[in-house]
Amino acid sequence: MTFINPTRGPMDFETMFADIVYFVQEDPLASYKLIIGTDSQIGESTCFVTAVIIHRIGKGGRYYYTRDHQRLQRSLRQRIYYETARSLELAGRLAAKLAENGHADLNVEIHCDVGKNGRTRDLIREIVGMVTGSGFDARIKPDSFGASKVADKYTK
């Protein structure tokens, strides 16, 4: 899986993780959130983009994204579940690696591409339950910028 940082370019998971840890160590007294969100866009194939954002609260942040195209056509419900599963898989991998490296206290949020307005409103309970049941904090629109802004930017 290749991640792209707009400044540093392509990198593998290990390099991205090292960059996140370095960013946190630059200002260890600051508060941080690690945000993961996925969005998709249907075209000839479905483009899924998962974004990883390390937010130094009140002082900016960095982000990375990975993109995947799939030919399978899915219903809206299937796409939202798949987006959430992609975010959870990556969050679990990052949380485990953080725990191994002494950063288990880093707050991890999953930003879901569902909201009270629009066609996804009926999925909110299920998706939030899926995320919180996995041990992560869930955010929905309009507070889910990781999915609705950062990941969405790279689906087009």
Report which of 101, 14, 17 is spatially closest to residue 52, judged by C-alpha positions.
Answer: 17
Q: Classify domain 3-153 at the CATH topology level.
A: Nucleotidyltransferase; domain 5 (3.30.420)
Report which of 51, 56, 65, 57 is spatially closest to residue 3, judged by C-alpha positions.
Answer: 65
- pTM for the predicted model, two decimal places: 0.95
57-79 confidence digits (pLDDT tens): 999 999 999 999 998 877 999 99
83-128 confidence digits (pLDDT tens): 999 999 999 999 999 999 988 888 899 999 999 999 999 999 999 9
